[in-house]
Amino acid sequence: MINKFLLLSSAFLACSLYWVSCTSTTSHVDTETDVPETFMKLCASCHGEDLTGGIAQSLLDGSWQFGSGRSDIMRSIKFGYPHHGMPSWGAMLADAEIDSLVSFLMNEEARLGISKPSIPATLETQDYSVKVEEWADGLDIPWSIDFAGPNRALITERGGRLRIVEDGVLLPDSVAGIPKVQARGQGGLLDVAVDPNYDSEPWIYLAFSHGQGTVVEDGEELVPSMTSIVRGKIIDKTWSDHEVIFEAPYETYKTARWHFGSRIVFDPEGYLYFSIGDRGTSEDAQDIGKPNGKVHRIHRDGRIPRSNPFYGQSDVAQTIYSYGNRNPQGLAVHPETGHLWATEHGPLGGDELNLILPGRNYGWPVISYGINYNGAIITELTRKEGMEQPIFFWKPSIATCGLDFYRGDIFPKWKNRLLVGALKMEELQLLDIEKDRVMYRQTILKNAGRVRDVTTGPDGAIYVVLNRPGKVLRLSQ
């Protein structure tokens, strides 16, 4: 079970509430009575309050990669495993506190006793009474949803399966022949997007973590990987006509298991935009010769637009549209203006909403409103000439993810308002944007689960992907 701490890719988000409350190098918890509360503050945001996982994986599946003994678990928490994204906790927790946390983790009855309230049948918002339906269930860490017609939806599962929902029914078999993905940490089969001209050009686009080869680091065999974009067609529930439309040079691949970005959207002119996170190497976000830490723009067949901001320049990744982006896991195009918007995960504090403009530098890691997950200062700067300010930022972080402008008719007051999903805070926010400013926001869904994606369906309902528990909710009237 403790290996899930080790696979904690960017799991430092789990610690945000804990660190904010700390005033010294050790915590102030009662080691006899407050360990479950400590777990909630320290770990639940990534492993889930029900321990079934999220950014990090489940603590209930019985797998003990680095030893199941008390001393093995104690060592893992105290010293960490950096290659798996797990930091050392020895400077933050006393040995007695770690020991109590280990006791809790090894107490299966206590762990299984953690439960969440049921999802409500209705929600009361400022504007509407919203009906909530569990539209699809039994999914294995779903990541993205898109619609290929009024009665057919496609859903990715991070482990590598593409699922189909037809006429409201989740089909038992996944699409055959999907390309192999590197499903480790935050990586796997991530976004799915349907071609805007699907009726005449039935292409389906996928973003996933692509692994190549192996390397040995500190005695451990690791697979370098990077975000890749492909397209294909689904014929008789089989992936066909496969085309790779973006694949980074192998020398840019990283062994880190986090920050893949991986959203795909299209603008009114038909350009395809996709995001790649910094892949754990923050300084690369400022290097326009490397693909990570960027938003990219290509034609739908993979060609590079001549109007891209760095087109024709030597030693530059010419697909780059913007740079200095930490880990954008939300992209959306405004239905009226055609402007590209992005949400990106900040460090501890400082999740951002950005209006993405060509050639602009969004600052990471030179400027930031957040600090490092161990409390260290990343940068003293929150602004610098030549670097863009976010339109809005969340502090504390909510772990922003899926993003969409509402485009339906069921909720007319919400037309063109921005739907923002949150993993850590388990909520769906609605932002009113006027002239590129956030005028106000409200939370319309809370504590149903970790919101990985959100989209407007062809019927005008709002579809919300919860990667834990593996469900899709449908919000309507």
Query: Are 87 and 184 in a shared domain?
Result: no
Query: Are 305 and 323 in a shared domain?
Result: yes
Query: Are 60 and 186 in a shared domain?
Result: no
Q: Is residue 403 part of a domain?
A: yes
CATH number (domain holding residue 197): 2.120.10.30
Q: Any idea which of 107-116, 217-226, 377-386, 425-434 has the lowest mean pLDDT?
A: 107-116
Q: Is residue 117 part of a domain?
A: no
% of the chain surpassing 90 pLDDT? 70
- The more confidently predicted of residues 145 and 49 is 145
CATH number (domain holding residue 24): 1.10.760.10
Query: Are 153 and 271 in a shared domain?
Result: yes
What residues pair up with 429 in beta bridges, in sequence order? 420, 443
Q: Is residue 372 part of a domain?
A: yes
Query: Are 127 and 269 in a shared domain?
Result: yes
**Can you give the pLDDT at residue 53?**
59
Query: Are 68 and 147 in a shared domain?
Result: no
Q: Is residue 342 part of a domain?
A: yes
Query: Are 367 and 456 in a shared domain?
Result: yes
User: Stretch 201-229: mean pLDDT, rounded?
Assistant: 95
Whether residue 438 has pLDDT greater than 70 = yes
**Can you give the pLDDT at residue 98?**
82
Q: Is residue 80 part of a domain?
A: yes
Whether residue 308 has pLDDT greater than 90 = yes
HEC string for the chain: CCHHHHCCCCHHHHHHHHHHHCCCCCCCCCCCCCHHHHHHHHCHHHHCCCCCCCCCCCCCCCCCCCCCCHHHHHHHHHHCEHHHCECCCCCCCCHHHHHHHHHHHHCHHHHHCCCCCCCCCEEECCCCEEEEEEEECCCCCEEEEEECCCCEEEEEECCCEEEEEECCEECCCCCECCCCCCCCCCCCEEEEEECCCCCCCCCEEEEEEEECCCEEECCEEECCEEEEEEEEEEECCEEEEEEEEECCCHHHCECCCCCCCCCEEECCCCCEEEEECCCCCHHHHHCCCCCCCEEEEECCCCCCCCCCCCCCCCCCCCCEEEECCCCEEEEEECCCCCCEEEEECCCECCEEEEEECCCCECCCCCCCCCECCCCCCCCCCCCCCCCCCCCEEECCCCCEEEEEECCCCCCHHHCCCEEEEECCCCEEEEEEEECCEEEEEEEEEECCCEEEEEEECCCCCEEEEEEECCEEEEEEC
Report residue 139's pLDDT band, with 50, 70 and 90 as the boundaries. Answer: very high
Q: Is residue 22 part of a domain?
A: yes
Query: Are 76 and 142 in a shared domain?
Result: no
Q: Is residue 303 part of a domain?
A: yes
Whether residue 293 has pLDDT greater than 50 = yes
User: Stretch 75-102: mean pLDDT, rounded?
Assistant: 74
Q: Which domain holds residue 85?
A: 3-112
For the annotated catalytic residues, the residue numbers are: 259
Q: Rounded distance, CA 398 to CA 447, Å?
A: 12
Whether residue 430 has pLDDT greater than 90 = yes
Query: Are 269 and 203 in a shared domain?
Result: yes
The per-residue pLDDT for range 149-206, each reduced to its tens digit, is: 999 999 999 999 999 999 999 999 999 999 999 999 999 999 999 999 999 999 999 9
The count of structural domains within the chain is 2
Query: Are 137 and 258 in a shared domain?
Result: yes
Query: Are 89 and 157 in a shared domain?
Result: no
Domain boundary residue among 77, 112, 147?
A: 112
Which amino acid appears at position 3 of this protein?
A: N
**Can you give the pLDDT at residue 58?**
58
**Can you give the pLDDT at residue 168?**
95
Query: Are 243 and 314 in a shared domain?
Result: yes
Average pLDDT, the chain: 87
Domain boundary residue among 112, 136, 154?
A: 112
Report residue 81's pLDDT band, with 50, 70 and 90 as the boundaries. Answer: low
User: Stretch 347-353: mean pLDDT, rounded?
Assistant: 91
Whether residue 328 has pLDDT greater than 70 = yes
The per-residue pLDDT for range 4-22, each reduced to its tens digit, is: 333 333 333 334 333 333 3
How far does CA 243 lie from the centroid of its chain? 25
**Can you give the pLDDT at residue 344?**
97
Domain boundary residue among 59, 90, 112?
A: 112
